[in-house]
């Protein structure tokens, strides 16, 4: 990174954060389902949801930890039945992403949540993929799909899901690992990740969101992942911090998620600035924006306001997001040139 960032007055920083081009690398597409769309899809599909209205559902979004969120998140996803539902959900996300100057997005999806309810892998993947194609055409946002295994289920279940996905191999760029972390360490999925590596998928995993640094070590050394999703607990282990910095392992950090799920008591205490200042390749992401109170630019502006980060941090975060993405070297260079131009021309 050779670009010199000019100082920016604190009152101008939010505008710069909003305007700069950026990539989103940690968004669960089912976590972008806004209550309004949940109710619209429930009606369209004749699915009953146990809340009287949008306001009642939204007021249930008071979480104490990851599991308290996951219970509501999986219930919300139950309204998704047809290919068009998956398309509509992803399309709504892409419209918001484009408004936030997200120019590239890598979307997590949880097929086991849907196949367990009798929705086919084909329905899920084709609906999401069609929305990705249209996002490029209509909004200029490039996008790809990362299929996640639910870690509270068995490795055998993950293998079955992988098998179902094979006819759609070309529509999936990578494999991830999500859901309840504590008690479900990465090494539980060693064999299925080894198979995914042989198949040529990019590999990522949630680790160190609520779970210990040991889970980050095994995600790296047993699963062989290229990025760590969250990873904020790495701060507890100096040797791990050195390893992550030395190998430039990207962390897809999600500040408003961490706040809502009580990983940090307030945003001022969030360790994103410390991770960056220690030389780690951290990025900013929204995780489940419909549930956590903000999309990309909300994550940026609120976290910068709370931690006093600077324009230099902003540049580093946006640059890291492109460097850590699964796009070609040429596409990365193109995005970074536009990022440089944005900072150059900002006043
Ligand atoms: N699935 C959706 N959001 C998640 C999160 N923050 N952690 C683990 N699994 C998830
Ligand atoms: Zn996540």
Mean pLDDT within 74-96: 97
The residue contributing the CA closest to ligand 1 atom 1 is 179
Compute, in angstroms, the gap from residue 178 CA to the centroid of ligand 1: 6
Task: For residue 28, give the ligand 1 atom closest to its CA.
Answer: 2
| Sequence ranges of the domains in the chain | 15-345
Annotated catalytic residue within 209, 210, 323, 344: 209
**Mean pLDDT, rounded, for 214-226:** 98
Q: Does residue 1 surpass a pLDDT of 90?
A: no
Strands (E) across the chain are located at: 22-28, 102-109, 142-150, 174-178, 202-207, 227-230, 250-253, 281-284
Mean pLDDT of 107-119: 98
329, exposed or middle or buried, with CB in 10 Å at 0-12, 13-18, 19+? exposed
Q: Are 159 and 133 in contact (CB under 8 A)?
A: no
Task: Establish whether 209 is a catalytic residue.
Answer: yes
Mean pLDDT (the chain, rounded):
97
Instruction: For ligand 1, atom 10, name the residue with the nearest CA.
Output: 179
Average pLDDT (314-320) is: 98
Question: Is residue 178 in contact with ligand 1, taking CB distance under 6 Å?
Answer: yes
Which band of pLDDT confidence, cut at 50, 70 and 90, is reported for residue 3? confident
With tokens 């047809």, the residue in question is 82
Give the residue-averaged pLDDT of 254-280. Answer: 98
pLDDT tens track for 6-64:
999 999 999 999 999 999 999 999 999 999 999 999 999 999 999 999 999 999 999 99
Assigned CATH for 15-345: 3.20.20.140
Assess whether pLDDT exceeds 70 at residue 295: yes
């Amino acid at each position: 990174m050779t670009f010199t960032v000019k100082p920016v007055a604190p009152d101008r920083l939010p505008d710069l954060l909003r305007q700069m081009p950026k990539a989103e690398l940690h968004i669960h597409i089912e976590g972008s389902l806004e209550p309004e769309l949940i109710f619209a899809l429930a009606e369209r599909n004749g699915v009953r949801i146990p809340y009287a209205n949008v306001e009642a559902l939204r007021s249930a979004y008071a979480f104490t930890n990851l599991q308290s969120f996951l219970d509501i998140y999986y219930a919300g996803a139950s309204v998704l039945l047809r290919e068009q539902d998956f398309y509509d959900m992803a399309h709504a996300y892409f419209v918001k992403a484009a408004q936030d100057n997200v120019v590239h997005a890598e979307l997590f999806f949880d097929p086991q949540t849907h196949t367990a309810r009798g929705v086919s892998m084909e329905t899920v993947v084709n609906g999401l993929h069609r929305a990705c194609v249209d996002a490029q055409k209509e909004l200029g946002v490039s996008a790809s799909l990362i299929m996640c295994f639910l870690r509270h289920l068995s490795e055998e279940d993950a293998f079955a899901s992988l098998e179902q996905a094979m006819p759609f191999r070309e529509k999936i760029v990578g494999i991830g690992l999500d859901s309840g972390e504590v008690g479900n360490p990465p090494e539980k999925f060693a064999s299925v990740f080894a198979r995914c590596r042989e198949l040529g998928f990019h590999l990522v995993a949630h680790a160190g969101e609520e779970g210990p640094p040991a889970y980050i070590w095994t995600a790296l050394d047993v699963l062989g992942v290229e990025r760590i999703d969250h990873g904020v607990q790495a701060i507890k282990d100096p040797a791990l911090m050195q390893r992550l910095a030395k190998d430039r392992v990207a962390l897809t950090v999600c500040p408003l998620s961490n706040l809502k799920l009580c990983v940090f008591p307030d945003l001022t205490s969030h360790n994103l600035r410390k991770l960056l200042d220690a030389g780690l390749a951290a990025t900013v992401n929204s995780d489940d924006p419909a549930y956590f109170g903000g999309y990309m630019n909300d994550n940026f502006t609120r976290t910068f306001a709370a931690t006093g980060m600077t324009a230099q941090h902003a540049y580093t975060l946006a640059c890291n997001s492109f460097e850590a993405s699964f796009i070609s070297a040429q596409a990365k260079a193109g995005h970074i040139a536009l990022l440089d131009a944005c900072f150059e021309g900002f006043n």
